[in-house]
Structure 1
Amino acid sequence: MNTLTAEPRATNVQFDDDSLWVDLADGRQLGVPLAYFPRLLNATPDQRTQFVISGGGSGLHWDKLDEDISVSSLLYGIGDHSRKVA
């Protein structure tokens, strides 16, 4: 069984054209394709920078984009599960 022994904590968030980059308190940097999060992919660069690191680093929140991301879910490769219904 794989379990996390300590909750990963974000200390900073950055973007390039294709990826979300999360700096973790333990020194790691995690890169995730923006395609995993359509709201961030379609946001302007300014909108992407308007985030809050919440829960002591366990979450990332973009109020104007209505996007919330769990840092631990990024480590498991879990992206946005919302689906548009036709």
Structure 2
Amino acid sequence: MNAPAEVTLYWRPGCPFCMRMRATLRLRGLRPREVDIWKDPDAAAFVRSVADGNETVPTVVIDGVAHVNPPPRMVVDALRRG
């Protein structure tokens, strides 16, 4: 059996893609670590560093690998792994 994935979801208020991702996860009872990039300047800088200088969210880090605007299914699968 694999260890559960370490998942961090970077998001911001008002982002429809973030709302979709968060709702998809919550409906399945899945709770990654969530970071609001508007409240955390270091998190915003990280997102820019992996998204070609943009604050593109959701950005999800799964086991240390950043994914910019991944499909919700990828995140659900990572959180259910284990």
Would you say same fold, with TM above 0.5? no
- Greater share of strand residues, 1 or 2? 1
Greater radius of gyration (CA): 1
Q: Which has the higher contact order (CA 8 A, sep 6+)?
A: 2
- Greater share of helix residues, 1 or 2? 2
Query: Normalising to structure 1: TM-score of the pair?
Result: 0.32
Query: Normalising to structure 2: TM-score of the pair?
Result: 0.33
